[in-house]
């Protein structure tokens, strides 16, 4: 007997619900992290040899980030009714990003002024030897000008940003191409449809890569613990603890408050919804592998595809709340540790400089240290060599930075979607409460055939492929349960 689409969806939902706990990706990643910690603690030499496992997985994920960002931004621009709406959404997003960055930096400054962990260190900048990676970051930061992030956005070639993994330049190319395709009208419709189909293919490749997520998390965590050792935590444990507590309070109180008062959603339900992504970030120390999952799940919550495609990739470069907290905390700690007095006025001046320098190293290896050095060099009162005081513990703070960045971008997208009336709030509440729902309907703005990558039942276990859809058509049946 032939099954109706409704029966097919019910059967798929039943299969998801019956999936054994040990087949859930978040469980597998969590177990892999624990095994990696134990291996790094007990057999550090063996654990450090696991580095290629983690780096290969992260490299494979980064390989897909550029194409995903490029294709989804083009899809987002082509999905709006007119180009004026693209500009308004971009302005609103950038405004929100700047306000969020300021609040994050102020939170870090307040925390360090209250606890003053650097007092009593009395480090002499002349005796701080800079070498290796730290020396390279200092050199890059000292040579970087505050305005360079503006000129750096324009790439030297079309393929360069994809080869080098420069997300800012990929965003620039995607916006230009998306606007051009929208402006040429019917001539661009076949290309836009092809972009949708290619997006589906790229997300299918992503599903293959995500099957290796537990191995990647294991390799990265084992190497980190084996290389740096748990004993590293004790040297500057108070600074690490302050950063984690400050970041947690910022996410729960500031981001949670914004989500509750304006969007009318619960931050703790959001944590549960994105549990796979948080564990993936914890294991790999970077938020990039979680970007595709964030985009899929936000769209499944009821955020319009155009808003997701525009806000999320841009936020990954311009909305780095975790990095902002770290930048202000580290700057003030170095000032205190080197006995450099800073008045409130000088600290506010630092904040203004950090708003610019923090954008200059987005997506660059060692970007946090480059931004930190650029800030100290621009102001000139705090010695740049002071970053050596915090260089050794950076690995144990990177996970927290990435998770706060991820949380900030999830909240930012929901905020902008609500602001733009592009959020199905009832659907979002239902999804966050754990209900299984059909895919969201296509909006009238999607006026050309498009293919949207299906929300996965969990990262790495993709639903049946969607069918190409035209304006006003019903969404193709895909499983609604994406949070496993």
Give which of 427, 428, 453, 330 is closest to 382, Cα–Cα.
Answer: 330
CA–CA dist 252, 244 (Å, integer): 12
pLDDT at 164: 78
pLDDT at 235: 53
Task: Name the token pair of 79.
Answer: 């999905």
Hunting for tokens 């969201």 — which residue is that? 440
Q: For residue 259, is it left (φ>0), alpha (ψ between -120 and 50) or beta?
A: alpha
Q: State residue 416's pLDDT score.
A: 96
pLDDT for 135 equals 57
Phi, psi of 362 (to 5 degrees): -60, 130
Residues in the chain, pLDDT under 50: 1-10, 14, 16, 443-484
* Residue whose C-alpha is closest to residue 268's, from 164, 165, 411: 411
Q: How far is residue 291's CA from residue 278's CA, in Å, rounded to a whole number? A: 11
Question: 3-state SS string over the chain?
Answer: CCCCHHHHHHHHHHHHHCCCHHHCHHHHHHHHHHHHHHHHHHCHHHHHCCHHHHHHHHHHHHHHHHHHHHHHHHHHHHCCCCHHHHHHHHHHHHHHHHHHHHHHHHHHHHHHHHHCCCCCCCCCHHHCCCCHHHHHHHHHHHHCCCCHHHHHCCCCCCCHHHHHCCHHHHHHHHHHHHHHHHHCHHHHHHHHHHHHHHHHHHHHHHHHHHCCHHHHHHHHHHHHHHHHCCCHHHHCHHHHHHHHHHHHHHHHHHHHHHHHHHHCCCHHHHHHHCHHHHHHHHHHCCCHHHHHHHHHHHHHHCECHHHHHHHHHHHHHHCCHHHHHHHHHHHHHHHHHCCCCCCHHHHHHHHHHHHHHHHHCCCCCCHHHHHHHHHHHHHCCCCHHHHHHHHCCCHHHHHHHHHHHHHHHHHHHHHHHHHCCCECHHHHHHHHCCCCCCCCCCCCCCCCCECCCCCCCECCECCCCCCCECCCCCCCCCCCCCCC
* Per-residue pLDDT, 195: 87
Q: Give which of 398, 344, 352 is closest to 378, Cα–Cα.
A: 352
Give the pLDDT confidence score for residue 42 in this predicted structure: 86
CA distance 297 to 300: 5
- What pLDDT does residue 103 have? 94
């Amino acid at each position: 007997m032939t099954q109706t689409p409704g029966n097919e969806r019910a059967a798929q939902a039943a299969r998801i619900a019956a999936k054994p706990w040990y087949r859930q990706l978040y469980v597998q990643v969590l177990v892999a992290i624990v095994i990696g910690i134990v291996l790094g603690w007990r057999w550090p030499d063996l654990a450090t040899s696991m580095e290629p496992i983690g780096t290969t997985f992260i490299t494979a994920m980064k390989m897909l980030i550029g194409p995903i960002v490029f294709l989804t931004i083009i899809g987002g621009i082509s999905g709006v009714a007119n180009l004026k709406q693209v500009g308004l959404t971009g302005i609103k997003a950038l405004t929100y990003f700047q306000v969020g960055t300021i609040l994050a930096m102020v939170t870090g400054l307040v925390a360090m002024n209250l606890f003053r962990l650097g007092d009593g260190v009395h480090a002499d900048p002349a005796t701080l030897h800079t070498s290796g990676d730290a020396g390279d970051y200092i050199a890059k930061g000292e040579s970087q000008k505050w305005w360079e992030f503006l000129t750096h956005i324009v790439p030297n070639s079309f393929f360069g940003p994809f080869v080098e993994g420069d997300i800012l330049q990929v965003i620039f190319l995607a916006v230009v191409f998306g606007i051009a395709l929208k402006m040429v009208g019917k001539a661009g419709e076949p290309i836009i449809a092809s972009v949708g189909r290619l997006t589906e293919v790229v997300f299918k490749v992503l599903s293959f890569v995500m099957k290796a997520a537990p191995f990647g998390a294991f390799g990265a965590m084992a190497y980190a613990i084996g290389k740096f050792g748990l004993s590293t935590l004790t040297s500057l444990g108070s600074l690490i603890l302050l950063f984690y507590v400050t970041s947690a309070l910022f996410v729960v109180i500031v981001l949670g408050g914004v989500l509750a008062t304006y969007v009318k959603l619960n931050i703790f339900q959001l944590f549960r919804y994105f549990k796979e992504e948080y564990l993936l970030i914890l294991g790999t120390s970077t938020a990039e592998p979680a970007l595709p999952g964030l985009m899929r799940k936000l769209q499944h919550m009821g955020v319009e595809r155009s808003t997701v495609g525009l806000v999320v990739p841009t936020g990954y470069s311009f909305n780095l709340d975790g990095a902002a907290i770290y930048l202000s905390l580290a700057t003030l700690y170095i000032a205190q540790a080197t006995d450099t007095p800073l008045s409130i006025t000088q600290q506010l001046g630092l904040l203004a400089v950090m708003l610019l320098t923090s954008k200059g190293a987005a997506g660059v290896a060692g970007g946090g240290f480059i931004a930190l050095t650029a800030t100290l060099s621009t102001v000139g009162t705090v010695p740049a060599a002071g970053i050596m005081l915090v260089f050794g513990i950076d690995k144990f703070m990177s996970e927290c930075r990435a998770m706060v960045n991820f949380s900030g971008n999830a909240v930012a997208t929901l905020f902008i979607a609500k602001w733009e009336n592009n959020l199905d709030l009832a659907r979002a509440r239902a999804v966050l409460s754990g209900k299984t729902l059909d895919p969201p309907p296509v909006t009238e703005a999607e006026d050309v055939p498009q293919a949207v990558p299906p929300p996965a039942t969990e990262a790495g276990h993709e639903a049946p492929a969607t069918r190409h859809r035209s304006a006003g058509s019903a969404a193709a049946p895909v499983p609604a349960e994406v949070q496993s």
